[in-house]
């Protein structure tokens, strides 16, 4: 076993790899960009080296910078994690040429599986079932239209050189094919520098089932069962579980054999995932991820294995141990993202002011309270993994963990995850990749906060202890010759909520929206234990000056205690001042100073976390000032355009 390991990655996967490496007595070396100088993975490592600026291409995607750091630290091996350079054949080859062990497959295997079209042709020769379609190199539009007609509609146009939903179009009729092809090719060229596409029959209700494979340098290759990753948004996974519900033992065995055949066909070594798309009893090869997957903990949960330890041992030349005969129990993982599901999953960027992750489930995270979610990297906050003797037990454990999760400062998808876990269709098992699209009700949010959250925020103000024992500091509402009372105004999402309160012997009598409630309880440890009319509840509570956050059942309800003596908010009266709602990079400026625009016209496009947000005019007028340029990094709330009459 090598004595030192550099992790060429960041966030939760870097922390995850370090935990196993240190348990094995291997010295850990972190690399970091300027944005990650004070991050958790840097603090956990035995040694850390700066590799460049925040932009990934200047740091985590720079092969030379990472190899230079490895040489400086004397690293004997490099673990690429996932994302960034993990499936980059040039990086794997550069490590070998530098005499550093690459913890992953050989460069030849990465190349073989990196091009979707050629990989599918290779799989056909290896006897692995593939979706009927066109996977050849010829890209003449007339030929592609002819092949599409032969395949039949609906069909998918997919980029050959990459994934993540980019360069993908669903075509339901021949009349729409030409326009869809042009759009897919243009997007593929922009995203991957390669406009080639392939065509595949579209399955209406597919499941995304993947097989974990492992191979060593001694010719052994085995399957570690399947995972169901069908709950997805924007073609990216949100919930993963193992084993896949409703998969017959014979189908599981056949998929495992096909996955092993796929790995052997490219001379695979290490951990890899063969992804299949399945419908009814049929399954078809989709692609192979030549790296460790984000969802690998669910496989660990049903096998009792440490896949990172296996990776390191295989990379050191050791033989694989025998595989388990059958999965044990059930495991399910939820990806907690800083994003807004109600706004097309737009990333939520900002500083995490409060973070409480649950006990009782496995948690993998790379952030702490006080860390910032930036536009430069993936917005994952944490992964929560629950195990149980069966699927219902694992679901209950994950539901409890998500309900106890508290995040303040950025929006998260916790409420969506909980709603999914509680949905009857999901609980019955076997959902397909269109599940979230079919259930927009899962994203619905009430414009008004729950009454319990309002009362908890009010109680946090009413029960706040006085700064000293002086009667002038008392906050019990006492006054001469008048009944004791207090009036509060809480702001929530721009709406003011008036509250009248009077102290009682053991609490408060509170008037809210024409109803009276009796409250008593206590504040302690960033939480409130409160009885409302005799019904007890507990909620997380975070207060920062006039800002109060009540956290319950995966949701964060934020309030502001209004100062009734302050004047009107001048910013709210501003008009024609277009500011960036998130930190990001300006990728397009669509207007010029002096140009006349109408309300709703597109002005500037800001990119954050691989997503683009178009800012539009809020009024008719003339562009008075442009305060941004293409390529510029802008902060949240920074004015980019000013519109005058």
Q: What's the rounded Cα separation, in Å, for the pair 427 and 336?
A: 20
Which residues are CB-neighbours of 592 under 8 A, at least 6 positions away?
623, 626
Q: Are 275 and 222 in contact (CB under 8 A)?
A: no
| Integer Rg of the chain from CA | 28
322 DSSP assignment: P
Burial of 240 (0-12, 13-18, 19+ CB in 10 A): buried
What is the per-residue burial (b if ≥16 Cβ within 10 Å, else e) of 271-287?
Answer: bbbbbbbbeeeebbbbb
Beta strands in 525-581 (DSSP E): 527-532, 535-544, 547-552, 555-561, 577-579
Helix, strand, coil fractions of the chain, as percent rounded to 5: 30, 35, 35
Q: What's the rounded Cα separation, in Å, for the pair 290 and 377?
A: 21
Are β-strands 27-33 and 4-7 bridged in parallel, bridged antiparallel, or unpaired? parallel
Q: Write the DSSP string, 337-401.
A: ESEEGGGTTEE--EE--EEEPPSSSEEEES--TT-EE-TTS--EEEEEEEEESSHHHHHHHHHHH
Going by C-alpha positions, the residue among 253, 250, 282, 406 that lies closest to residue 336 is 406
305 DSSP assignment: -
291 is catalytic: yes
Cross-sheet strand order for the sheet of 621-626: 577-579, 639-644, 621-626, 596-597
Going by C-alpha positions, the residue among 173, 223, 387 that lies closest to residue 297 is 387
The catalytically annotated residue of 196, 207, 291, 411 is 291
Q: Can you name the residues that pair with 222 across neighbouring β-strands?
A: 214
The CB-side HSE value for 401 (13 A sphere, CA atoms) comes to 27
- The pair of structure tokens assigned to 535 is 């019904």
Are β-strands 380-388 and 27-33 bridged in parallel, bridged antiparallel, or unpaired? unpaired
* CA angle (277 as vertex; 273, 279 as ends), nearest 5: 145
- The pair of structure tokens assigned to 252 is 């599981």
Q: What's the rounded Cα separation, in Å, for the pair 235 and 440?
A: 16
**H runs (alpha helix) in 37-115:** 40-44, 63-73, 89-97, 107-114
Q: Are 132 and 200 in contact (CB under 8 A)?
A: yes
Helix, strand, or coil (residue 215): strand
Are β-strands 330-337 and 380-388 bridged in parallel, bridged antiparallel, or unpaired? antiparallel
Element (H, E) at 596: strand 596-597
Are β-strands 47-52 and 27-33 bridged in parallel, bridged antiparallel, or unpaired? parallel
Going by C-alpha positions, the residue among 106, 98, 72, 428 that lies closest to residue 245 is 428
Which active-site residues does the annotation give? 291
């Amino acid at each position: 076993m090598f004595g030192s390991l550099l992790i060429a990655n960041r966030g939760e996967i870097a922390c995850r790899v370090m935990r196993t490496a240190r348990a094995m007595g291997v010295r850990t070396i972190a690399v970091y960009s300027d944005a990650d100088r004070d991050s958790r993975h840097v603090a956990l490592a035995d040694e850390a080296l700066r590799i460049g600026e925040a932009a990934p291409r200047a740091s985590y995607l720079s092969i030379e910078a990472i190899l230079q750091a490895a040489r400086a630290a004397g690293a004997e091996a490099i673990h690429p994690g996932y994302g960034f350079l993990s499936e980059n054949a040039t990086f794997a080859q550069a490590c070998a040429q530098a005499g550093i062990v690459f913890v992953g497959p050989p460069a030849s295997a990465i190349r073989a599986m990196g091009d979707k079209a050629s990989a599918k042709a290779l799989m056909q020769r290896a006897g692995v079932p593939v979706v009927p379609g066109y996977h050849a190199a010829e890209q003449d539009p007339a030929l592609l239209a002819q092949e599409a007609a032969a395949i039949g509609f609906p069909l998918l146009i997919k980029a050959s050189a990459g994934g993540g939903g980019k360069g993908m179009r669903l075509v339901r009729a021949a009349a729409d094919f030409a326009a869809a092809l042009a759009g897919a090719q243009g997007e593929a060229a922009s995203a991957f520098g390669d406009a080639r596409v392939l065509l595949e029959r579209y399955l209406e209700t597919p499941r995304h089932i993947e097989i974990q494979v492992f191979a060593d340098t001694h010719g052994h290759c085995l399957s570690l069962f399947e995972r169901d990753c069908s709950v997805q948004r924007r073609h990216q996974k949100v919930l993963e579980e193992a084993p896949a519900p409703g998969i017959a033992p014979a189908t599981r065995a056949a998929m495992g054999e096909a996955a092993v055949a796929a790995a052997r066909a490219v001379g695979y070594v290490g951990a890899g995932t063969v992804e299949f798309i399945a419908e009814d009893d049929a399954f078809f090869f989709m692609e192979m991820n030549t790296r460790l997957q984000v969802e690998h903990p669910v496989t660990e949960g049903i096998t009792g294995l440490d896949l990172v330890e296996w990776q390191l041992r295989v990379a050191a030349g050791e033989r694989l141990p025998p595989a388990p005969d059958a999965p044990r129990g059930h495991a399910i993982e939820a990806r907690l993202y800083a994003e807004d599901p109600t706004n097309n999953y737009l990333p939520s960027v900002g500083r995490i002011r409060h973070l409480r992750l649950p006990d009782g489930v496995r948690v993998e995270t790379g952030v702490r309270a006080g860390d910032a979610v930036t536009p430069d990297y993936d917005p994952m906050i944490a992964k929560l993994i629950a195990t149980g003797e069966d699927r219902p037990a694992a679901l209950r454990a994950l539901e409890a963990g998500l309900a106890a999760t508290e995040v303040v400062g950025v929006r998260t998808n916790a409420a969506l995850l909980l709603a999914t876990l509680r949905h009857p269709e999901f609980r019955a098992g076997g959902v397909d990749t269109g599940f979230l699209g079919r259930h927009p009700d899962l994203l619905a949010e009430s414009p008004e906060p729950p009454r319990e959250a309002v009362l908890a925020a009010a109680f946090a103000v009413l029960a706040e202890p006085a700064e000293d024992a002086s009667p002038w500091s008392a906050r019990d509402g006492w006054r001469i010759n008048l009944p004791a009372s207090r009036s509060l105004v809480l702001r929530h999402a721009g709406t003011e909520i008036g509250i009248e309160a009077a102290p009682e012997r053991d609490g408060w009598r509170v008037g809210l929206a024409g109803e009276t409630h009796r409250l008593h309880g206590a504040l302690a440890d960033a939480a409130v234990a409160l009885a409302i009319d005799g019904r007890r509840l507990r909620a997380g509570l975070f207060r920062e000056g006039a800002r109060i956050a009540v956290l319950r059942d995966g949701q964060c309800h934020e309030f502001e205690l209004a100062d009734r003596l302050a004047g009107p908010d001048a910013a709210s009266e501003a008009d024609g001042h277009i500011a960036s709602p998130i930190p990001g990079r300006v990728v397009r400026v669509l207007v010029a100073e002096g140009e006349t625009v109408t309300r709703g016209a597109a002005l500037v496009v800001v990119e954050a976390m691989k997503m683009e947000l178009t800012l539009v005019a809020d009024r008719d007028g003339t562009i008075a000032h442009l305060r941004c340029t293409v390529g510029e990094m802008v902060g949240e709330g920074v004015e980019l355009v000013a519109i005058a009459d």
